[in-house]
Structure 1
Amino acid sequence: MKKILLIVTNVSMYASGRLKTGLWLSELTHIYHSAKQQGWEITIASPKGGSVPIDPESLKPLVLDKISKDYYGSPAFMDELNHSKTLEEIKNTSFDCVYLAGGHATMYDFPDNTLLQTILKNQFESNKMVAAICHGVGGLINVKLSNGEYLIKDKSMTGFDWFEETIARRKKEVPFNLEAAIKERGANLIKAFIPMTSNVVVDGKLITGQNPFSSKEMARVVMKELLQ
């Protein structure tokens, strides 16, 4: 049985205080559903533990797919989500995959979290899978390996790009430019040919997805790689 750690945000508002944010639901539900189908052990954790806000944008009819809608309507799942473990509680636990779910909120509580950085560093240096989707890849940008190099240096990867931020109308709200940060650390950013379409990039044990529309493919690729 595989053990998978799904890390989510605790942040519910942009710094401006004008708009709500949180976890982008489908970026958690598809990987959760796929792991459940395999009978794997799933742990949901967040920087502070406890309740996990959901970005209201991810609940809109046009983007809320059936799997996500079913889980959102499941009292058992929502109870599990809102009793997330703290990173402190799970820091010494071994997992086959550590997966960072996205949502703009992660731009606030993922990038500078030193405990998250340590967990990801140890996971990667143990030659175990590290996966992240959309804004969740922001949790990778400041991770340094034992040799002092950034984890993502010279890696092929993807993430929510700056043009997609324009489409999402969040350029003035986000705390930094994720695309620029990825490039500054020496990664090879691979974008979908058409913005806001599915794109998943595999570079060894590092798997990244570009945006919410990559949720389904991301789950499929992670499962495939873990089953090899």
Structure 2
Amino acid sequence: MDPMYKVLIVCTSHTLYPRKSHKTGLWLSEVTHFCDELTDRNLPFDIASPAGGSIPIDEKSVDRRDTTNEKWSHNPVFQQKMANSIPLSDIDPKQYQILYLAGGHGSLWDFPQNEALQAITRQIYERGGMVAAVGHGVSGLLNVTLSDGTSLIENRQVTGFANVEEKIARLDDQVPFLLEDKLREKTSLYSKGLIPFLTHIEVDDRLVTGQNPLSARKVGRKVLEEMYEK
């Protein structure tokens, strides 16, 4: 692989809860904190989504006290990419060596069954690339199968948004499924941190997953460490 890698960041296009007035979407820090790690190596990145166009942002994640969110809100290149995300159907996986699936509750609706996302994930992974995901973005890995027919996450160390975190957020009755339960059903070796909402990641070969928004930066650091330092 060329030492200058290109990153594909995938975000949700989904906004609606079934019985909540406020809208969901991307959890903003799961992208901004990850992108912050990419800047240390000046890595180019594209932002894609199932529907393309403007990325919906969960209103509860727009925290101006988060200095990283504030920093990226003034980055014109980032803002242009967020406003004009590439439809997954237009993505050529051969252009990318790193795939990152960002979370936010919206991804539970439009990631798991998206065949284009599954194909992109499989091709990047099988070409020797890194696959990473955080929070609810890990749902995009649930149904990924490799060319030999095996599941990408079967018997792999993974994490993702925990049931207790969903209950604390009072959204366990709004989501289409509980991610922790689905990951365990897929016979993946799921783990979570002892304290909810604190940083926790898992690394299994070229697969890096983070439990929740606070884990996004550490996922980014680990991806770069795996790509550049091994």
State the TM-score, normalized to the length of structure 2. Answer: 0.93
Among 43, 53, 57, the residue aligned to 1:54 = 57
Mapping for residues 138-217 of structure 1, pairs under 5 Å: 138-217=139-218
* Residue 22 in structure 1 maps to residue 25 in structure 2: yes
* Residue 88 in structure 1 maps to residue 97 in structure 2: no
Query: Aligned partners of 1:215, 1:138: CA distance in 2, in Å?
Result: 15
Mapping for residues 32-47 of structure 1, pairs under 5 Å: 32-47=35-50
The Cα shift of 1:93 comes to: 3.2
The Cα shift of 1:73 comes to: 4.0
The Cα shift of 1:17 comes to: 5.3
Query: Aligned partners of 1:185, 1:41: CA distance in 2, in Å?
Result: 33
Map of 1:112 onto structure 2: 113
Q: 1:157-178: per-residue Cα shift (whole Å, max 9, x none)?
A: 1000111100111011101111
Q: 1:150-203: per-residue Cα shift (whole Å, max 9, x none)?
A: 110000010001111001110111011111110111100111011110001100
Query: Aligned partners of 1:46, 1:130: CA distance in 2, in Å?
Result: 16
Partner SS for 1:208: strand
The Cα shift of 1:129 comes to: 0.5
> Are 2:97 and 2:128, in contact at CA under 8 Å, matched by a contact in 1?
no
The Cα shift of 1:92 comes to: 4.1
Query: Which 4+ runs in 1 deviate beyond 4 A?
Result: none
Map of 1:11 onto structure 2: 14
Partner SS for 1:44: strand
Aligned partner of 1:82: which letter? A
Query: Aligned partners of 2:106, 2:227: CA distance in 1, in Å?
Result: 28
Structure 2: where are the runs of 5+ without partners? none
Query: Aligned partners of 1:72, 1:170: CA distance in 2, in Å?
Result: 27
Query: Aligned partners of 2:146, 2:97: CA distance in 1, in Å?
Result: 19
Query: Aligned partners of 2:42, 2:205: CA distance in 1, in Å?
Result: 25
Aligned partner of 2:202: which letter? V
Q: 1:68-121: per-residue Cα shift (whole Å, max 9, x none)?
A: 122124444222211111112213433111000000000011000001001111
Partner SS for 1:37: helix
Q: How many matched pairs?
A: 226
The Cα shift of 1:147 comes to: 2.2
Map of 2:222 onto structure 1: 221
Aligned partner of 1:72: which letter? S
Aligned partner of 1:70: which letter? K
Q: Which moved more, 1:218-227 or 1:72-81?
A: 72-81
> Are 2:12 and 2:111, in contact at CA under 8 Å, matched by a contact in 1?
yes
Map of 1:132 onto structure 2: 133
State the TM-score, normalized to the length of structure 1. Answer: 0.94
The Cα shift of 1:66 comes to: 0.7
Structure 1: where are the runs of 5+ without partners? none
The Cα shift of 1:35 comes to: 1.3
Percent identity between the two aligned chains? 40
The Cα shift of 1:15 comes to: 3.2
